[in-house]
Amino acid sequence: MLYNKKNLFIKRGLSILLIVGIFINYGNASFAHDIPASHTEMTNSTTWNFGDGWTDIYASSSIGFMGAEWSQARQAWGFNYRFVGTGASQYRNSGSSTNRIRIAAMQVEGTSNTSNMAMWTSTDSKYIGSTPSSTGSSPDYSDVATALVDLAITGLNSMGASLAWTTVGLINSLRSNVNSTSTRDDYIWRQWNWSPDISDTGQFFWFIVDVEPYQTVQISTEYMLFGPGYEHLSAGKTYRNLNAGAPRSGSLSTQTLENWNPGMMSDEEKEIYGIEEISREQFDERAVELNISSRNIEEFKSSDEEVFYFAHNFLEFEIPFSDNQSMTAKDTLIQDVNEQLKISENIIKAFTSIEEINDKDIEIIEKHKDQQLYLLDILNSVKSSRQVDVQLIDSIWNEFQAR
């Protein structure tokens, strides 16, 4: 099943860091614990005939940036993100639920300047949750997930789908479990499996991207569903720029100062980036109000630092996917083939990770291994050609799509 860009709907969140409903007053501020500073929603659907009628599969996601925490130990700003995905499968004619979801996955990748970033996740139960699940603890996710869960469900409903839970119901049903994980400095994969297949699902994931001061990095995030027939459905991939400031007049260089901290920033920088300086006396209260991560709470309390720094106004925003219209026919084909290679890679990764793998799962895996070889042949032939005729491109791509 090919990724259908025509079905992709993108609802962009705010590109600025403050949204209506967040009130900042550093003296006695009241922060909405789970309201993102910027966010993006993605939705997508596909249709498949399983023999008992046409079924619509829906996927919706919401990714929110929550602000950045300074880590003196790592000499980096920790950009906090919360990521929610929801999925549903329903008969087209009746709208009733049907069990067509076998796997859900969340993927985060570094896509630019990865040497100046490091991704971090926690084993704390409040940092990850999924439903349905019969295992795992049930922490209170309401103060960290409500806003984004509501946005993701709204996205699902906008396609005409209905979910088994309301916002409150989904949050209450989340359990802190995950079936398969993979983590590197520039990559995160979280996967959930079900047997038998299910009709409705939802996931929550809190992760951090450490960015060195005055650096800009880029990440992509994607929520996916997998199952026999349609094989793969992505809610859509979003690319985000994380800008940890830019030095200005009067700045002290991070390169020449071994123990640099945000207190050394110029007054202009502090104002522009909304740097809040939190004393030890204020820390416990503000840690709750800002939902500061457990790792930074532990680090700060065990350190001899007297001030904790939180950046409210770092520039963090979505970057549109490359526009094919501005690319040559050859570059467009290369991009499309690479995109399809990535889809096959994710399908193989997802189905291979199932504990109780069956013959149908193996068939899907082998199909996409063969497809990868075929796509690599196309990619190599196109890259080695100085000029690629548009008609040749069309015939190669049409041949692949007809497989």
278, 336, 339 from 322: Cα distances, Å: 40, 11, 12
45 touches 59 (CB < 8 A): yes
Higher pLDDT, 25 or 295: 295
Integer Cα distance of 87 and 58 in angstroms: 5
Q: Which tokens go with 296?
A: 């930074």
The answer to whether residue 212 scores a pLDDT higher than 50 is: yes
Residue 308 main-chain phi, psi, to 5 deg: -110, 140
pLDDT of residue 78: 97
pLDDT of residue 44: 98
110 touches 187 (CB < 8 A): yes
pLDDT of residue 7: 40
pLDDT of residue 51: 87
pLDDT over 70 for what percent of the chain?
86
pLDDT over 90 for what percent of the chain?
71
What average pLDDT does the chain have? 87
Average pLDDT over residues 210-227: 97
The answer to whether residue 190 scores a pLDDT higher than 50 is: yes
Q: 118-127, 181-190, 224-233, 386-395 — which is least confidently predicted?
A: 386-395
Tell me if residue 277 falls in helix, strand or coil.
strand
Measured in whole angstroms, the distance separating CA 306 from the mean position of its chain's CA atoms is 34
The answer to whether residue 154 scores a pLDDT higher than 50 is: yes
What letter does residue 92 receive in the DSSP assignment? T
pLDDT tens per residue across span 346-383: 999 999 999 889 999 999 999 999 999 999 988 888 88
3-7, 231-235, 389-393 — which one is most confidently predicted on average?
Answer: 231-235
pLDDT of residue 109: 98
Higher pLDDT, 53 or 165: 165
Residue 249: pLDDT band by 50, 70, 90 thresholds?
low
The answer to whether residue 324 scores a pLDDT higher than 60 is: no
pLDDT tens per residue across span 199-208: 999 999 999 9
Average pLDDT over residues 24-45: 68
pLDDT of residue 31: 40
253 touches 247 (CB < 8 A): yes
Give me the amino acid identity at 313: N
The answer to whether residue 68 scores a pLDDT higher than 70 is: yes
The answer to whether residue 5 scores a pLDDT higher than 50 is: no
389 touches 381 (CB < 8 A): no
Residue 341: pLDDT band by 50, 70, 90 thresholds?
very high
pTM attached to this predicted model: 0.89
Question: CA dihedral in degrees (106, 110, 115, 121; nearest 10)?
Answer: -20
